[in-house]
Amino acid sequence: LSLSTVFPVWQGGGVASRAGAWGQGWGQVGGQVPVFDYPVWCVLCQGGRARLREACRRGRGALRLPADMLSIKLPQLFDIHQVPKVFREDGIISGYRHPQSSALDCILSSFQMTNETVNIWTHFLPTWYFLWRFCVLCYTQNFLSESYTWPLLVYMLLICVYPFTSSCAHTFSTMSPAARHICYFFDYGALSLYSLGCAITYGSYVMPDCWVNSWLHQHFVPIAICNTLNFSPSIFLIRFLELQFPHRSKILRTGAFVFPFIFDNIPLFYRLLLCCGGSCCHSEALSSHCYHLLFAFLTCFLFASHLPERLAPGRFDYFGHSHQLFHICAVVGTHFQMEAVLADMTSRRTWLITQAAVPSFLGTLGALALGVILNLGIIGTFSAPLLWNSHHSASHPLTPPSKHKQQ
């Protein structure tokens, strides 16, 4: 075994022999351009790095790329006193984007360090993780014809949708005050659908054995649809009260999130109580459920407390503020929830198929479709006045923030 069979060999004669080609600058012997018949690693070790840089320089000159393609100007950032109150966040002093950013500026800002950059990526990247898990399940589960898997299908769709919607909301929320409200309307709508998907999945796979076919089991999904119908308008109205009553609106918004979460987890809470009383055996599903509840509690705590930036305003503007930590805890909690649902679905499959009613199209995909229609209608109802006011106030544009930052 020779070195020439292990390392690639550069046969440079065909290109280097042309006048003015890549061979210029590599050195000539006897008026002829040499042919390199030895491994590339030898060229790089024996002064080849300088020659390679020279070749790259000649290549860049030959391509003649326009300078404006290589110099993209990132948007300017502002301090808290330079942006309207609707864009301000508690404890965040700097790193704000222009309140009338273009769509391109919003996209570019996701590659710039702002106080929203980590918020964008902590939900955009997990979207692809959940999408990959969903694609794997599409190969291992028969979603088309096996109705037992339809609750899982609904759940997997929604855990891909809600982080992606959140990432888009954080990206484009600085285009205007109206756009900020509308972006978060879609964000809250996706969370409302996610809550509905959890109810569909828990009602099918997590319901305690003694509750199967009970009144609550039969009406679990319809009640969850009613929760969705109440959640979205409530949380949308609370957004408009945020400037006038910031503390009250925070309490109301937290409560609006907590109520559907508690309802969705009623079957799980009862199963955990039975296990604490020694009426059930330890399982992988219950362990994952407990981890999910732990991260759900951390998510709620971070969302409501605004820690740690409340203790040290300005210190966590770019890294480590509560919304970033809240995103991370939410995603990790969703991961454990997904693992728990898969474990329950697999371990209880035989018993549930024989004892419980088979999940129906109307109670799974039909309920999801109804939830989507209701949420889109509610979002349209609340967005239309904002768009109308924004259109009629175009003659009085928002005064752009000063470009002089406070020293």
Binding site listing: 170, 323, 327
Residues written for the chain: 407
Residue 134 CA to residue 337 CA, distance in Å, equals 14
**HSE-CB for 222 with a 13 A CA cutoff:** 5
Which residues are part of a known binding site for Zn(2+)? Answer: 170, 323, 327
Q: Tell me the sheet residues that pair with 132.
A: none
The rounded distance, in Å, linking the Cα atoms of 51 and 16 is 13
CB 314, CB 93: distance < 8 Å:
yes
DSSP of 30-59, one letter per residue?
Answer: TTBPPP--SBHHHHIIIIIHHHHHHHHHHH
Residue 133 DSSP class:
H
Residue given tokens 């210029």 in the structure block: 24
Note if the bond before 75 is cis, omega within 30 degrees.
no
Q: Which conformational region is residue 14 in: left (phi greater than 0), alpha (psi within -120 to 50 degrees), or beta? A: alpha
Q: How many CB atoms lie within 10 A of CB 205?
A: 26
Task: Answer whether 398's CB lies under 8 Å from 190's CB.
Answer: no
What 3-state class would DSSP assign to 290? helix
Give the three-state DSSP class for 78: strand
Two structure tokens written together for 125 = 């990247």
Give the whole-angstrom CA distance, residue 259 versus residue 234: 12
CA distances to 113, 239, 342 from 385, in Å: 33, 14, 43
The label of the residue with tokens 């978060």 reads 184
DSSP letters spanning 82-115: GS-GGG--TT--S-BPPTT--HHHHHHHTTS--T
- 257 contacts 303 by C-beta, under 8 angstroms: yes
Rounded Cα gap, residues 164 and 187, in angstroms: 9
